[in-house]
Structure 1
């Protein structure tokens, strides 16, 4: 048996040291645990006996590795057949178990896909009665894929999917509406009028022609753009020969739209249909890996990943390299290899990886074996690939600089939530969240409250309360249906189309006609939070589907025990599995902050409603800028609502916290 000397061996049990001494000189994976059975570190070795022994033979002092070794209480090992197998097992364990001293990429997000529903009509009916399944719909999708529909992706973010859907609307005019909306149309919606849809809901296009557009859209997404253009040209010439000039002109316009898209996208017509570009940047103890995706020859955008435990893992790997008498691997390479090994576990891997650092050939070989297809990597590319890599490197540096500047700030919370839910706002400053809460007193005086978060803070001037009427007392689901319908009906495609039509009619009628109302500054939020679980989310989903709005905006906050922060789960309306953010997550902190503010606002509204019943009514709390504290001060100073109503503007302005402007607002509201 090998003997152990030095400071570290005295800290460990004879049983552990005997286990180390009995290890075989074979490739394998080892795992260290502390006294509380928390996983500290996962490592791989060509020679288990030599590598693990090195930890216990040396005195590491007060270094990071010394702290870890002193904490080891027990160990587990697994012998494998090859180094490649050890590499895959090591990173599967790191990804699944999250040890404290390994470079760890937390990827709790599922990738979005573009979905084309169904497979179109099986029999072309001559009847005018058509079903939604005769006209496949293009949609944003997350979750498990099935064989009933066609899926394209994965895409790096939601923005990339929505941009691709917009392209398909412009060029192929495929429908995006829900089946419930499709079945109840009697005239085409605004999308038809702006040439983003061919109007299948009102029989403006035959199923066979629509199916041809779907096939071309699928070819375009697969990167077969030249084939699509050639097919459109042949169809156009055939119509022209039959003197069907209107149909020929439509196809000519479609070709023009597709050509413009191809030009804007700078599509590479070479062999690079599918590739991932990976760039790494390390600074200030933090690291960023920027992943850009090319699919079907189109650059779809990128996505940053920020690993944890970088400093600890680098220190440990430097010690391991020293014990093996080898040069330490640069930190950038360690981070990039950790990302590749962890990220492509359970995620489709493209045939080409373009990397900012040269990565291990063994890693790429293991990736090929695991995925069942040949994967190659390129470190110093040329031409188009070089441009892609330079862009990814620049974005990695920008994302890391932003992270270092924002950490600990409210902006960091906003960005953390955007990244955790994989949203893609146009500008983080304008990212808008609306959160709803239902409250009532013993089933009576039901109210719904809406609070607004924008520009990294709560916007109290935009909070709203809704008096819920015409429902059974205590029916929170019916209350949620009513408030969401009232809040968002004006944003439905039908309402927008109607408003556009009314504005056009008013313009045609001349100056004598009543002028249309000025355009509203209101807009749909980027996220709708519902204080409740699956039931409330299902109700919100139903409302959004009926209005023709994006159900992907809806997220439910399912309460933890006693509303404790850290026990909440997020429930999604678009079919994604529930998500539980880490207790120390900045994203969770923001969700809890907004949820609690909605609850607070709802309770103050409920108390005000009770006070109204008792006092015969008061409009003070309905004045923007008057919260519970200012209301209490006003009532206390003037002896009640009537006293406030009898006071002058100058008198009201003497109350603490009431400016001259607010005093004038109060006076006008009460007179």
Structure 2
């Protein structure tokens, strides 16, 4: 009996045309799938029948759309009540499915805020990232942690607000260094009362709202009054604050005067790559900028890229009242409605043609153009290095994804494995991973065993999540920090898992552990070295050092966490708040263990029942 090959699955505009019989003019979302049922493209439509009929034409398409139609074997449809609902559904599906022909925003990091907490008589000011769930006043978003830190430093110099945690605040008996260098008013030890401190908080909020002139005038009046009352020390302190505020205002001379609140977004496309530059303007101040490099969906146009970026970027972020753009959108009213619905207020979207707003967009566009040029130059260099790496180590093709592994521990304690990832775009930090060593290898300081555990866990998970290797999560090359022993241990793991086609190289320090004399180990081949000034050698050293930095950082974080643990963590019912209260009251966990029931009850939040439980816990331990 002979087997006959199954006929090829039909694809193309004729397949799409067959769906027109079942569609009406409803708004909705459509998905185009290939012969393997992989989603090629997700789109929205005000009128599904009309949109799909465009794809059913045999000609008249751009090269990108023609390729997509050629690969389409089937389609799926979801109708919605409005086009805005279709737009939201489209972006949710794009984020979930990551289709090949869609524009994809690859950076989904949240942006930090400044939080003035209002749950304490002396509110603290600090950086906040994530959901705005804590009681207090939020100011943001800022483009980066660096922008937040610079602003916090300015606020400390001008308004002398505390940045310490509540537990540190409660435990202070004398002022800290920040008081000595005039960065804090030391409310923790009574150097300022609650009324005066809250006046400082109010001034800081006015500053963050852009009302610096009013704050400066108030400080000047207070300084004059203090001088008239011959309170010269207070007058001098106010003078220093006015001087600091003036310096801050001079540093903000580039800030817009006529734009109170806006997100300025500019796009530059070149060579099939795109850069979007986003500037945040709040309270007439520039709160930093961030560049993004969306995947352009196999050649999408500028209007489509920018519209897709906006809908994905604001998926979990609140837009400003004004969004200034460098290019016109395909559906500006629809995008404005979506952003307004997300913000709960009106959001205006536009492309300014003249004046200060146009200047802001031009500045953002220039930054986008320069950022993309730098990235393309770096990518070209990186590609040359990957080609050199393939030649040096006799790889079939330059690797697209390199995974580098290292372990870190101190005599087996707090053992951690680290994995970093690199490719044509450099280090892919969002894909780095840490592995807490769980087996006996960590306790026994068994480096080979630790490497076996890390690689086993990594590739068992890959085999479970993507057995057919359809995603880009599979590496082409493994770099192991170690010599022949580590390479042999990893090889055993890979053979046992049935993954034997991934190239693997061990990087070991050479004679006298001198950088530049590294030896490279491969399975079944003799060790070798590269010449000392070889760019590929420097490239491998950078990869190895980055893996070492990442593993060391993970180990130190784990060790610091272990140092901060106390026997109180093991007591049922003792959470973070009660633990802080007990340590603040008694000074140490050892003192808590020695305390009597009555002493324990004197701590806020410790009931008679909890005091008895604490006492029993420490006095029944063997």
TM-score (norm 2): 0.61
Query: What is the CA deviation profile of residues 13-42 of structure 1, one whole-angstrom value per residue up to 9, with x for unaligned ones?
Result: 999765432211333321112343322111
CA distance in 1, matches of 2:454, 2:169: 36
1:142 and 1:565, CA in 2 relative to 1: closer, same or farther beyond 3 A? farther
- 1:300 paired with 2:272, answer no
- 1:247 paired with 2:218, answer no
- 1:349 paired with 2:238, answer no
Aligned length, in residue pairs: 449
CA distance in 1, matches of 2:484, 2:166: 37
Question: What is the alpha-carbon root mean square deviation over aligned residues?
Answer: 4.7
SS of 2:316's partner is coil
Partner residue, 2:409:
438
1:250 and 1:172, CA in 2 relative to 1: closer, same or farther beyond 3 A? same
Q: Name segments (4+ residues, structure 1) moved above 6 Å.
A: 12-16, 447-453, 599-604, 626-630, 656-659
Q: How far off its partner does 1:200 sit?
A: 3.2
> Does structure 2 retain, via aligned residues, the 8 Å contact 1:288–1:400?
yes
> Does structure 2 retain, via aligned residues, the 8 Å contact 1:406–1:412?
no
Partner residue, 1:388:
360
- 1:625 paired with 2:597, answer no
- 1:376 paired with 2:348, answer yes
Q: 1:563 aligns with which of 458, 468, 475?
A: 458
Q: How far off its partner does 1:395 sit?
A: 0.8
> Does structure 1 retain, via aligned residues, the 8 Å contact 2:511–2:517?
no
SS of 2:295's partner is coil
CA distance in 2, matches of 1:144, 1:209: 30
> Does structure 2 retain, via aligned residues, the 8 Å contact 1:436–1:531?
no
Partner residue, 1:193:
180
Counting only pairs closer than 5 Å after superposition, residues 317-466 of structure 1 correspond to structure 2 as 331-359=301-329, 360-362=331-333, 363-407=335-379, 437-438=408-409, 440=411
Counting only pairs closer than 5 Å after superposition, residues 39-438 of structure 1 correspond to structure 2 as 39-58=39-58, 63-121=63-121, 134=122, 136-266=123-253, 270=257, 272-312=259-299, 314=300, 331-359=301-329, 360-362=331-333, 363-407=335-379, 437-438=408-409
Query: What is the CA deviation profile of residues 537-580 of structure 1, one whole-angstrom value per residue up to 9, with x for unaligned ones?
Result: xxxxxxxxxxxxxxxxxxxxx96753349969xxxxxxxxxxxx
1:179 and 1:289, CA in 2 relative to 1: closer, same or farther beyond 3 A? same
1:16 and 1:95, CA in 2 relative to 1: closer, same or farther beyond 3 A? same
SS of 2:298's partner is helix
Unaligned runs of 5+ in 1: 1-7, 122-133, 315-330, 414-433, 457-525, 536-557, 569-581, 605-619, 631-655, 660-671
Query: What is the CA deviation profile of residues 162-218 of structure 1, one whole-angstrom value per residue up to 9, with x for unaligned ones?
Result: 111111122112222344444444544433332222233443333332222122112
SS of 2:267's partner is strand
Counting only pairs closer than 5 Å after superposition, residues 535-614 of structure 1 correspond to structure 2 as 561-564=456-459, 584=472, 597=481
CA distance in 1, matches of 2:276, 2:283: 23
SS of 1:150's partner is strand
> Does structure 1 retain, via aligned residues, the 8 Å contact 2:223–2:239?
yes
CA distance in 2, matches of 1:43, 1:54: 13
CA distance in 1, matches of 2:416, 2:104: 40
Partner residue, 2:522:
none
CA distance in 1, matches of 2:37, 2:259: 47
Q: How far off its partner does 1:116 sit?
A: 2.4
CA distance in 2, matches of 1:361, 1:559: 49
CA distance in 1, matches of 2:262, 2:203: 22
> Does structure 2 retain, via aligned residues, the 8 Å contact 1:27–1:47?
yes
CA distance in 2, matches of 1:265, 1:589: 48
Q: How far off its partner does 1:341 sit?
A: 2.2
Q: How far off its partner does 1:63 sit?
A: 4.8
Q: How far off its partner does 1:585 sit?
A: 7.7
CA distance in 1, matches of 2:68, 2:235: 73
Unaligned runs of 5+ in 2: 1-7, 386-404, 424-428, 439-452, 464-469, 488-508, 520-528, 533-622
SS of 2:103's partner is coil
Q: How far off its partner does 1:358 sit?
A: 2.8
Q: How far off its partner does 1:290 sit?
A: 0.5
CA distance in 2, matches of 1:90, 1:213: 47
Q: How far off its partner does 1:151 sit?
A: 2.4
